[in-house]
Amino acid sequence: MKFLPLSFSCLLLLSFSLKAQESITRTGYTLTFKSNYTELDPQLKKRLTETFFTVYPKLAKEYNPKTLKKVVFFVDTAYKGVAATDDGQVVFSSEWLKKHPGDIDVVTHEVMHIVQNYGESVGPGWLTEGIADFARSKFGVDNAGAGWKLPDLKQGQSYENSYRITARFFTWMEQKVKPGIVKTVDSKLRDHTYTDNVWKQQTGKTLDELWAEYVKNPSIA
């Protein structure tokens, strides 16, 4: 069989594909980095990669040592959100990274979702996202660089507001009520034994009672 040489355009496409995907393995974890965003700053790519290898092993150790060993990052020009995680792959919006290059701890939030691995959990969405932002607050490498922090409590808020509002409430509980409560709840979500009664079992108070106490004295360190 006679093989024809690849055309110049095919060689360019092959070269781009090789450059657009890279796999790195460290300390038992592999990150495959894919991108169709040709303008991605190499230094930003490096920071996103380093953030993964800094925080993912810590999150795994703290919450779920059985978490996936192989993770994929995909910077996608077609994705219009901020970032999303599914089945071990995190998709990042190229537009978001362009406008917010300092927000590298979006990695911390998203890979926490991989660690969580709740499947068809009985837990509510606000709880899942609140735990992910709690993890970002605790393990993030440069939240300050992104101008990201837990917000002060404001009138009318609820623990069901999710994300940073819920994360701050969890931080208060960890400091003022029961250290390790988030890890306990995370575990029960993963093994599908979570119910609202877990808060009463762990702290002696319902979620609403805990929130009422938080509202009275919301200070955190």
Domain ranges of the chain: 19-117, 121-221
Other C-beta atoms closer than 10 Å to the C-beta of 79 total 16
* Residue 143 DSSP label: T
Structural contact between residues 115 and 154, judged by C-beta atoms closer than 8 angstroms: no
Q: Which two tokens stand for residue 181?
A: 């409560």
Q: Quick one: CATH architecture of 19-117? A: Orthogonal Bundle (1.10)
CA 168 to chain CA centroid, Å, is 16
**Using CA of residue 65, residue 67, residue 70, residue 71, what is the dihedral sign?**
negative
User: 74 CB contacts (<8 Å, ≥6 apart)?
Assistant: 34, 35, 89, 90, 91, 92
Structural contact between residues 133 and 113, judged by C-beta atoms closer than 8 angstroms: no
Higher pLDDT, 173 or 1: 173
d(Cα 170, Cα 181) in Å, to the nearest integer?
Answer: 8
* Residue among 65, 115, 120 nearest 90 (CA): 115
Q: Which two tokens stand for residue 187?
A: 């575990």
- Each residue's pLDDT tens digit, 50-109: 999 999 999 999 999 999 999 999 999 999 999 999 999 999 999 999 999 999 999 999
The pLDDT value given to residue 5: 45
Half-sphere exposure of 79 (CA within 13 A, CB side): 20
For every residue of 31-44, DSSP letters joined together read EEEEE--TT--HHH
Which residues is 73 bridged to in the sheet? 33, 90
The pLDDT value given to residue 10: 39
- Each residue's pLDDT tens digit, 154-212: 999 999 999 999 999 999 999 999 999 999 999 999 999 999 999 999 999 999 999 99
The pLDDT value given to residue 19: 52
User: 24 CB contacts (<8 Å, ≥6 apart)?
Assistant: 30, 31, 33, 49, 53
The pLDDT value given to residue 4: 37
CA 191 to chain CA centroid, Å, is 20
Q: Which two tokens stand for residue 38?
A: 């040709």
* Residue 30 DSSP label: E
d(Cα 51, Cα 107) in Å, to the nearest integer?
Answer: 7
